[in-house]
């Protein structure tokens, strides 16, 4: 057992989740210092262990899926058959000592295994249960299985993503899963805080549907308030202009003018008429977006990405390049934020992983609780140690 450091040090999480939404929530807890014991089925473990290629060959000749590596750092692995009496007895022992239980089975599965909320409350009255589902635990379609691709479509995200209304696209990462994990971890931390006052645990529920609807933001109120049905508009903002991707010599860059002052600066730098017909206000520029795009791309036509970005920086206009992922992870700014961590894997050796997005500091500016990250575990890697820990109780 590695002693964890961080705001959640001393919190123990039993993680029954698999795939991505639940494992991401549990990894967030682990990044914050919680001890996370990942319970996996003995035959193959979490299905993401088989999601590939790419696989990376280990020293034992067994390939490790990079998908699994992405969402399971800082955890311990125990293999348990939860349908057996032995597995259920050990899970009961774990829950009696845990603070949090996380699961993302289809609704009703945990009940059928013999662990409905009322039983969990008897085992441990202070236990916080996080349940993540595809479309919610109740309602007319509450029992549906949920996968990210399906949820992105059903929750409307694909309808506003793509080059246009007839080119619908999913987001390039499983954003519904990731958001459900983030909302789930957020809910668990809130429940743990309330437990300090009441001494009681509670059930926290979220879903892929809820997580995507929860980030509709202004696209949601375009319909609920204004009665407009948003559609995909490619790489340009539906309510702000100029705000999007613009071509230049040999490439493209992104520009964001979120207010009139920035528009004025942009026009001054590139000798454009800020009051030209159809472009004198944001509302006009949104209405005449194609004119704005052509005007800026004409101004950028003779410039490389680097040259255009230098001039925009001089003018104080927010802008940036479009990086590939290899460029992102080699970027000094990414490294400076702790967004790449190096861990020692039992069979892969030294492995670089995307790092946690949160950092903590004291009032003097000193960074708090930096802790050593551990690699995503091999299946049942910590089974003997966890069993020994339970026997010590």
Just list the catalytic residues: 177
CA dist., res. 148 & res. 177, Å (int) = 6
CA dist., res. 339 & res. 263, Å (int) = 33
Burial degree of 312 (CB within 10 A; 0-12, 13-18, 19+): buried
HSE of 155 in the Cβ direction (CA atoms, 13 Å)?
28
For the chain, the helix, strand and coil percentages under 3-state DSSP, each to the nearest 5: 40, 15, 45
Among 24, 173, 196, which residue's Cα sits nearest to residue 99? 196
Contact (CB, 8 A) for 190 and 182: no
CA distances from 20 to 44, 72, 208, 279 (A): 16, 9, 11, 45
- If one counts every other C-beta atom within 10 angstroms of the C-beta of residue 262, the result is 19
**Residues 347, 38, 33, CA angle at the centre, nearest 5°?**
90
CA dist., res. 192 & res. 116, Å (int) = 20
CA dist., res. 387 & res. 389, Å (int) = 5
What the block records as the tokens of 282 is: 């944001």
CA distances from 54 to 48, 135, 175 (A): 12, 30, 20
């Amino acid at each position: 057992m590695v002693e964890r450091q961080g705001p959640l040090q001393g919190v123990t999480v039993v993680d029954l989740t698999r795939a991505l939404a639940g494992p991401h929530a549990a990894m967030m807890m682990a990044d914050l210092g919680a001890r996370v014991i990942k319970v996996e089925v003995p035959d193959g473990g979490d299905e993401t262990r088989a999601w590939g290629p790419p696989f990376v060959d280990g020293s034992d000749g067994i390939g490790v899926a990079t998908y699994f590596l992405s969402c399971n750092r800082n955890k311990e692995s125990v293999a348990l058959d939860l349908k057996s009496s032995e597995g259920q007895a050990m899970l009961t022992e774990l829950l009696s000592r845990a603070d949090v239980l996380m699961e993302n089975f289809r609704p009703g599965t945990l009940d059928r295994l013999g662990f409905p909320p009322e039983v969990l409350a008897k085992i441990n009255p202070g236990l916080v249960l996080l349940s993540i589902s595809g479309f919610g635990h109740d309602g007319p379609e509450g029992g549906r299985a949920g996968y990210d691709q399906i949820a992105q479509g059903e929750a409307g995200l694909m309808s506003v993503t793509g080059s246009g209304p007839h080119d619908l696209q999913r987001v390039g990462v499983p954003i519904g899963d990731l958001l459900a994990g983030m909302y789930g971890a957020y809910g668990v931390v809130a429940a743990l805080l309330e437990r300090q006052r009441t001494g009681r645990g509670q059930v926290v529920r979220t879903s892929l549907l809820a997580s995507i609807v929860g980030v509709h933001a202004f696209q949601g109120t375009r319909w609920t308030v204004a009665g407009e049905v948003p559609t995909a508009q490619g790489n340009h903002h539906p309510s702000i202009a100029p705000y999007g991707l613009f071509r230049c010599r040999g490439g493209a860059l992104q520009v964001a003018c979120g207010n009139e002052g920035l528009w004025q600066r942009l026009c001054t730098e590139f000798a454009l008429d800020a009051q030209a017909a159809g472009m004198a206000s944001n509302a006009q520029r949104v209405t005449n977006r194609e004119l704005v795009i052509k005007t800026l791309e004409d101004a950028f036509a003779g410039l490389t990405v680097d040259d255009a970005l230098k001039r925009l920086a001089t003018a104080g206009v927010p802008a940036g390049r479009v990086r590939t992922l290899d460029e992102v992870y080699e970027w000094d700014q990414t490294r400076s934020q702790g967004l790449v961590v190096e861990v020692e894997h039992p069979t892969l050796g030294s492995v670089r992983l995307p790092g946690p997005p949160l950092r903590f500091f004291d009032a003097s500016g000193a960074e708090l609780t930096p802790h050593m990250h551990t690699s995503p575990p091999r299946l049942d890697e910590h089974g003997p140690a966890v069993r020994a820990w339970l026997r010590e109780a």
